[in-house]
Amino acid sequence: MADEEFHDFYKYTPAKAAAIIFIILFLPTTGFHIFQLVKRHVWFFIPVVVGGIFEIVGYSARIISSTEAPLFTDTPYIIQNLLLLLAPALFAASIYMELGRIIAILHGEKLSVIRRTWMTKIFVTGDILSFVVQGCGGGIMSSGTKSNLLLGQKVIIVGLCIQLIFFGLFIIVSVVFHRRMAARPTTASLSLQLSWRKYLYSLYAVSVLIMVRSIFRVIEYIPGADGTLLGREFYLYIFDATLMWILMVVLNVVHPGVISELLMGDSLLKSVGMDMHSEELGLAGSYGNNPNPMRKQRPSFAETIYARHAIATRGLA
């Protein structure tokens, strides 16, 4: 095989044992996310599942690289470099979408700094931009030439900075909404059997994890290939692998399945109107006091809350 097909990509020999450990860690949390997604129809968490798969495949590629030292083939290096670099951007996409759904279920649109209809679009667009820029940087680096390594690192730094800017803005928007909701709670926030604060705190936690990881990656790439962080493998496992595994576990434990079900309940109420209240929920008088039986009355607030509770607890969604 020609010499140019091999490169000294790493400044160390990738540790096979460490990669195996994190594959073992990511497999159950990713599998559980798949189960939760399918069971509760939380489709906006598909990026989390894909991100988990990226982590598993990425560390599998590092195992292959560990057998190739001291000269490494392109494919395993490119796979691990791109997938481990891009997985957090997928986690971020679901986190952005979860905040919008929390605001929707609490009827707190007026308390948000950014309109809910625009919020997800803005943050996900920024996330996609970060994803594409980092992906381009990783692709440039994969050529193995010194000039392209330097250029690719600079492009990756730009992508990471974009991610940090949007995440910083996201945290500010989340905190402002949280404070406003606590000061001026909506009727829905007081009546729903939903600990909305728990979900916001989980978003703060995973946001900090991604922020720390992204800051580490920026610091890692600034000095270039000769930097301390790029030359020491254990930093990758401490500030990237471990943090992203904790993120996935937190999202397993504080999973937005209930939020998704309540939102589907709202949609169901709008589509079936009073039929659901009188027939499915057994509320008396839904039509009895209606002077025009052919025209459905707007459900009362109490009926709406009862319906939401029934949907969430009886599996009607």
Domains and CATH numbers, the chain: 3-255 (1.20.1070.10), 273-314 (no CATH)
Establish how many alpha carbons lie within 13 A of residue 81's alpha carbon, considering only the half-sphere containing its beta carbon: 27
Establish how many alpha carbons lie within 13 A of residue 269's alpha carbon, considering only the half-sphere containing its beta carbon: 23
Q: Which residues of the chain have pLDDT under 50?
A: 1-4, 268, 272, 274-291, 293-303, 306, 311-317
Q: Helix H segments across the chain? A: 16-40, 46-66, 74-105, 116-141, 146-183, 187-191, 196-221, 233-236, 242-253, 257-272, 274-275, 301-314
* pTM of this structure: 0.81
**Predicted local confidence at residue 31, as pLDDT:** 98
Cross-strand partners of 72: 7
Q: What angle do CA 24, 30, 35 make, to 5 degrees?
A: 130
**Predicted local confidence at residue 281, as pLDDT:** 37
Cross-strand partners of 81: none
Contact 100, 170 (CB under 8 A): no
Contact 56, 27 (CB under 8 A): yes
**Predicted local confidence at residue 112, as pLDDT:** 93
Q: Report phi then psi at 115, rounded to 5.
A: -55, 135
**Predicted local confidence at residue 267, as pLDDT:** 57
**Predicted local confidence at residue 270, as pLDDT:** 55
**Predicted local confidence at residue 7, as pLDDT:** 59
Reading the block at residue 169, the tokens are 């803005």
Contact 132, 148 (CB under 8 A): no
